[in-house]
């Protein structure tokens, strides 16, 4: 099985899960680059997976299914205009053409209905978790977002994290402000700079890498707690409060 990025808009990735001439897409916000990809590869579209309702994730679906009628698996709480197979936390999706079974993880916060898809060390997390960052909390609460990220943080360390945007460089700049003495962040920043200068994606990352460098998963790290304390003027009451202080800080930058 191969997983390839299809670039869309300025910084979106539509993930193509390929096997034996079949392909499933994750969050095709734009149809044109997908149609070009299908023409180039000759792959047959077999399914579309949707993490949440924002236009840059679902905007291409109507045109794609008009040309290639396939099931669209997505959140039960949103994107009803395109989703044909609504899903909730702990549901399962079988893609027999690819030999893949996916578990649905409910991750509200960025939107109330946001879901992620997990299978055998692969995580398609939409806008919940980014390389060294996380999505803004538009609809849910900060506590919900923390709980959602905690679910993802509990997955196996070798999990490959396929997020939907190329935000890693800017996220790492913020991570260095939060933890200026974190050597893992400095190393990752250099590695990402090399990848981007060569025109290569900075993702997927591994969950282990995120736990070492992503301030939004490092609510137990003394340096992150200290940074949150400085922002709040007092020690955070718990992990969720530490996360909230860092997320609100990021919103100002």
Q: Which pLDDT belongs to residue 43?
A: 97
Spatial distance between the Cα atoms of 146 and 24, rounded to a whole number of angstroms: 29
Name the residues annotated as catalytic.
52, 54, 56-57, 110, 127, 165
Note the pTM of the prediction, 2 decimals.
0.96
Ordered alpha helix ranges (H), 122-238: 142-153, 168-178, 183-197, 207-213, 222-232
142: pLDDT strictly greater than 90: yes
Specify the pLDDT at position 64: 98
69 preceded by a cis bond (ω within 30 of 0): no
CATH number at residue 113: 3.60.15.10
Residue 32, Cβ neighbours under 10 Å: how many?
A: 10
Provide the pLDDT confidence category of residue 117 given band limits of 50, 70 and 90: very high
Distance CA 139, CA 130 (A): 18
Query: pLDDT (tens digit, 9 = 90+) per residue, 206-237?
Result: 999 999 999 999 999 999 999 999 999 999 99
Question: Over 90: is that where the pLDDT of 106 sits?
Answer: yes
Q: How many domains does the chain have?
A: 1
What pLDDT is stored for residue 253 in this prediction?
A: 83
Confidence of residue 205 (pLDDT cuts 50, 70, 90): very high
Q: What is the pLDDT of residue 215?
A: 98
Which tokens sit at 245? 């202080």
> Of the candidates 162, 147, 146, which has an alpha carbon nearest to the alpha carbon of residue 228?
146
What is the rounded CA–CA span in Å between residue 127 and residue 57? 9
């Amino acid at each position: 099985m191969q997983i390839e990025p299809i670039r869309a808009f300025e910084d979106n990735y539509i993930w193509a899960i390929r096997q034996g001439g079949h392909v499933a897409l994750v969050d095709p916000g734009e149809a044109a680059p997908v149609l070009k990809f299908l023409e180039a590869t000759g792959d047959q579209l077999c399914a579309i997976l949707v993490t949440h309702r924002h236009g840059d994730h679902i905007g291409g679906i109507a045109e794609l299914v008009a040309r290639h009628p396939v099931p669209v698996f997505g959140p039960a709480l949103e994107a009803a205009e395109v989703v044909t197979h609504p899903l909730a936390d702990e549901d399962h999706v079988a893609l027999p053409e690819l030999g893949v079974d996916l578990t649905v993880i409910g991750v509200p916060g960025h939107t109330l209905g946001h879901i992620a898809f997990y299978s055998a060390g692969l995580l398609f997390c939409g806008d919940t978790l980014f390389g060294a960052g996380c999505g803004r909390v538009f609809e849910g609460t900060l506590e919900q977002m923390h709980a959602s990220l905690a679910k993802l943080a509990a997955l196996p360390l070798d999990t490959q994290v396929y997020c939907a945007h190329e935000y890693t460089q800017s996220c790492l700049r913020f991570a260095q402000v939060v933890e200026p003495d974190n050597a893992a962040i400095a190393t990752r920043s250099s590695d990402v700079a090399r990848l981007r200068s060569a025109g290569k994606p900075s993702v997927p990352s591994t969950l282990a890498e995120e736990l070492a460098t992503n301030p939004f998963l490092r609510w137990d790290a003394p340096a992150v707690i200290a940074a949150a304390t400085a922002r709040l003027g007092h020690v955070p009451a718990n992990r969720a409060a530490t996360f909230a202080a860092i997320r609100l800080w990021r919103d100002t930058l």
